[in-house]
């Protein structure tokens, strides 16, 4: 494999960044140094940039500098080292700006009685060892009204009232630009056109959001004072999700209730105070698998960043499974979360996500050292298809545009991915082309 040595070095650095410790971290570090010696650190840095994990690589490199005395000659030259760390500092600054904008956006929605739930990238990053070292990207949000129902259009109305143009041309989400941040306001969390099964899965996801268990990402809540939805307590120190509170606390810092209350206490609204929420762990794990699988089969591909996202999500699910107080972590089961992993496996099996979840899980365990939440049998062929696909994606820069031309191009490319469909789908590439055409002409504006 062309990228073999660089990939081994990169995988080692990602494992260290995700928290491998002790002798295991030392062994991984040694392998990374040997592999990088064969390919050169420039190749490792280039591959990290292609795969969207440059921030995590900087964390891994810092470990090598701090814990590998005598290995100076095997580490990157000063120029590359400084370039990598400078890029990480820039990423942290960009993250802080994006979070600032996201928090002010949430204030607009909160004033209209809507709760702002972040999806995908920002929600997954909350579970990273260092959230700001994952690229922020676009902001995906799902708005909830007082009844816990989707409030996409109510949010659009508030944005237009603020003088911002909203693009409603895509059925799954509307989009707009807020303070330089590209925002996707979701009507659906996943693509649903032309498929009863996908609509059923979407209802399941939205039901998880409606059932409560949302995790506050900093700041007091000023929406839905009379809502009976279970919103977890921030904790006695007033912080939100672990490792993320400071980043999402730029709009207000109040505490809500005591650490023993178990549920968030409603507070009166105050200027400049707002809150963003992350979905429950089960929702994050399911959306991560479904989103990555869709991109892998239909939208050009995925990268190692998606593996890291899944590692973060299943770690969050494991923390939920080990908890004793569901209010603190957003567990959706009332037995302390002990059944969450079983629910995750069962849902993946029901919606033909299991093979892909297992492949992602094996990659997450091998690379990041995060154990999969349920047993997956070995499948070297599927693992090879996934890895080769990720490396190909990093080199090819897929077209993710929403124009008709872009979508037709992606649809016609399904046939070239027949091997991926055989490994990770319950339908063929040809059947998916027919479903896409049917959905476009006969299910243009789908309803659940």
Please give the pLDDT value at position 111.
Answer: 94
Q: Where are the domains of the chain?
A: 4-76, 92-278, 281-398
List, in order, residues 6 or more apart from 267 with CB less than 8 Å away.
Answer: 220, 221, 222, 254, 256
**H or E element: which one contains 178?**
strand 173-178
Nearest to 302 by CA among 66, 52, 101, 131: 52
Banded pLDDT at 404 (limits 50, 70, 90): low
Banded pLDDT at 3 (limits 50, 70, 90): low
Q: Per-residue pLDDT tens for 347-357? A: 999 999 999 99
**247 pLDDT higher than 90:** no
Q: Which DSSP symbol is given to 301?
A: -
Banded pLDDT at 46 (limits 50, 70, 90): very high
Burial class (CB in 10 A: 0-12, 13-18, 19+), 321: buried
Please give the Cα distance from 108 to 114 (Å, whole number): 9
Mean pLDDT confidence for 269-287: 77
Banded pLDDT at 331 (limits 50, 70, 90): low
More confident position, 350 or 319:
350
**214 pLDDT higher than 80:** yes
Please give the Cα distance from 39 to 205 (Å, whole number): 44
Please give the pLDDT value at position 79.
Answer: 86
Average pLDDT, the chain: 81
**248 pLDDT higher than 50:** no
Q: What percent of the chain has pLDDT over 70?
A: 78
More confident position, 326 or 417:
417
Please give the pLDDT value at position 157.
Answer: 98
Q: Structure tokens of 12?
A: 């080692």
Please give the Cα distance from 135 to 125 (Å, whole number): 8
Q: Are 24 and 30 in contact (CB under 8 A)?
A: no
Please give the pLDDT value at position 298.
Answer: 87
Mean pLDDT confidence for 148-152: 96
Contacts 24+ apart (CB under 8 A), 332-340: 332/208, 332/211, 332/213, 332/280, 332/282, 332/283, 337/281, 340/281, 340/282, 340/373
More confident position, 148 or 334:
148
Please give the Cα distance from 263 to 214 (Å, whole number): 11
Helix (H, G, I), strand (E, B) or coil at 15: helix
Please give the Cα distance from 50 to 131 (Å, whole number): 19
According to DSSP, the residues that pair with 141 across neighbouring strands are 118, 185
């Amino acid at each position: 494999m062309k990228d073999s040595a660089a990939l081994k070095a990169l995988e080692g650095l990602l494992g260290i960044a995700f928290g491998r410790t002790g002798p295991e971290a030392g062994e991984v570090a040694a392998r990374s140094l040997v592999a990088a010696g064969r390919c050169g650190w420039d190749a490792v840095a280039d591959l990290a940039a292609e795969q969207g994990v440059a921030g995590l690589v900087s964390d891994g490199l810092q470990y090598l500098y701090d814990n590998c005395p005598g290995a100076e000659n095997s580490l990157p030259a000063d120029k590359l080292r400084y370039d990598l760390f400078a890029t990480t500092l820039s990423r942290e600054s960009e993250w802080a700006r994006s979070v600032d904008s996201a928090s002010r956006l949430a204030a607009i929605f909160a004033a209209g009685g809507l709760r702002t739930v972040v999806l995908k990238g920002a929600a997954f990053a909350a579970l990273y060892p260092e959230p700001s070292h994952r690229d922020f990207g676009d902001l995906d949000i799902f708005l909830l009204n007082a009844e816990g129902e989707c409030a996409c259009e109510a949010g659009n109305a508030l944005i237009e009232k603020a003088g911002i143009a909203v693009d409603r041309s895509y059925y799954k989400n509307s989009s707009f630009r807020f303070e330089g941040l590209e925002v996707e306001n979701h009507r659906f969390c996943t693509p649903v056109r032309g498929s009863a099964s996908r609509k059923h899965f979407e209802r399941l996801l939205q039901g998880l959001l409606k059932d409560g268990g949302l995790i506050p990402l900093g700041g007091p809540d000023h929406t839905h004072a009379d809502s009976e939805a279970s919103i977890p307590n921030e904790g006695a120190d007033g912080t939100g999700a672990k490792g993320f509170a400071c980043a999402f606390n730029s709009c207000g810092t109040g505490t809500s209730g005591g650490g023993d209350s178990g549920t968030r206490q409603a507070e009166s609204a105050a200027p400049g105070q707002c809150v963003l929420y992350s979905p429950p762990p089960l929702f994050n794990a399911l959306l991560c698998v479904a989103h990555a699988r869709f991109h892998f089969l239909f939208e050009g591909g995925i990268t190692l960043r998606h593996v890291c996202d899944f590692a973060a999500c299943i770690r969050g699910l494991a923390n939920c499974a080990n908890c004793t107080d569901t209010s603190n972590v957003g567990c959706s089961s009332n037995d302390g979360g002990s059944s969450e992993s079983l629910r995750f496996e069962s849902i993946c099996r029901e919606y033909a996500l299991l093979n892909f979840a297992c492949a992602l899980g094996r990659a997450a365990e091998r690379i990041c050292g995060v154990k999969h939440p349920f047993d997956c049998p070995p499948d070297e062929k599927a693992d090879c298809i996934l890895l080769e696909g990720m490396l190909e994606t990093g080199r090819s820069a897929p077209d993710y545009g929403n124009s008709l031309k872009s979508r037709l191009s992606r649809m016609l490319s399904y046939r070239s991915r027949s091997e991926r469909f055989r490994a990770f789908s319950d339908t063929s590439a040809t059947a998916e082309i027919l479903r896409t055409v049917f959905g476009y002409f006969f299910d243009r504006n789908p309803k659940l």
